[in-house]
Amino acid sequence: MLHEIDLSRIDLNLLVLFEAVFEERHVGRAAQRLNLSPSAVSHGLGRLRSLLGDPLFLKTPRGVVPTQRAEELDQPIADILSRVRGVVATARPFDPATSTRRFTIGAPDGVSAVFLPPLLEKLAHAAPGIAIGIRQLLPRQGETSPAVAWQDALAELEARMMDVAVLPYDDPPVRFWRSLLYQEDFIVAARAGHPFAAAPSVSNYCRLRHLVVSQTGDSHGFVDNVLAGQGLSRRVALTVPNFMFALAVLADSDLISALPRRFVELHASRFGVIGIEPPLPLGKFALTIVAPQPAMRDAGMAWLVTLLEGLGGGAQNPADRRVR
Q: Count the domains in the chain.
A: 3
**Both 63 and 150 in a single domain?**
no
d(CA 123, CA 99): 11
Burial of 294 (0-12, 13-18, 19+ CB in 10 A): buried
Please give the single-letter amino acid code of residue 40: A
Q: What is the CATH number of the domain that holds 252?
A: 3.40.190.10
Asked whether residue 233 is domain-assigned, the answer is: yes
Among the candidates 58, 91, 124, a domain finishes at 91
Q: Indicate which CATH number applies to the domain containing 74.
A: 1.10.10.10
Query: Are residues 61 and 123 both part of a single domain?
Result: no
Q: What is the pLDDT at residue 4?
A: 45
pLDDT for res 145: 79
- Asked if 126 and 262 sit in the same domain, the reply is no
298 shares a domain with 175: yes
Specify if 96 maps to a domain.
Answer: no
Q: Which of 91, 124, 157 is the endpoint of a domain?
A: 91
What integer pLDDT is reported at residue 320 of this predicted model?
39
Q: How far apart are CA 75 and CA 247, in angstroms?
A: 41
Distance of CA 143 to the CA centre of its chain: 17
So what's the pLDDT on residue 323?
42
User: Which of 282, 312, 288, 266 lies closest to 186, judged by CA?
Assistant: 282
Q: Are residues 276 and 202 in the same domain?
A: yes
The reported pLDDT for the residue numbered 11 is 80
Distance (Å, whole) CA 26 – CA 34:
12
**What does the DSSP assignment read for 173-232?**
-TTEEEEEEEEEEEEEEEETT-GGGT---HHHHHHSEEEEE-TT-----HHHHHHHTTT-
Q: Domain check: are 109 and 256 in the same one? A: no
Are 65 and 204 in the same domain? no
Q: How far apart are CA 296 and CA 157, in angstroms?
A: 13
Residue 19 lies in a domain: yes
Instruction: Record the pTM.
Output: 0.68
Contacts of 203 (CB under 8 A, 6+ apart): none
Indicate the residue among 91, 116, 133 that finishes a domain.
91
| Residue 68: inside a domain | yes
Residue 97 forms part of a structural domain: no
Other CB atoms within 10 A of residue 4 CB: 6
Asked whether residue 304 is domain-assigned, the answer is yes
Looking at the structure, tell me whether residues 317 and 301 fall in a common domain.
Answer: yes
- The answer to whether residues 199 and 269 belong to one domain is yes
Are 99 and 304 in contact by the 8 Å Cβ rule? The answer is: no
Same domain, yes or no: 169 and 191 = no
Instruction: Classify residue 83: in a domain, yes or no.
Output: yes
Instruction: Report how far residue 202's alpha carbon sits from residue 70's, in angstroms, rounded to the nearest whole number.
Output: 55
208 lies in which domain range? 184-284
pLDDT of residue 312: 75
Specify whether 176 is located in the same domain as 247: no
- 193 and 272 co-located in one domain: yes
Residue 130 within a domain: yes
Give pLDDT tens digits along the chain (324 positions): 334 445 566 788 899 999 999 999 999 999 998 989 999 999 999 999 988 889 999 999 989 999 999 999 998 888 888 777 766 665 567 899 998 888 999 999 999 999 999 999 999 999 999 999 999 998 877 777 788 889 999 998 988 889 999 999 989 999 999 999 999 999 999 999 999 999 999 999 999 999 999 877 778 878 888 899 999 999 999 999 999 999 999 999 999 999 999 999 999 999 999 999 999 999 888 999 999 998 898 889 999 999 999 987 543 333 334 443
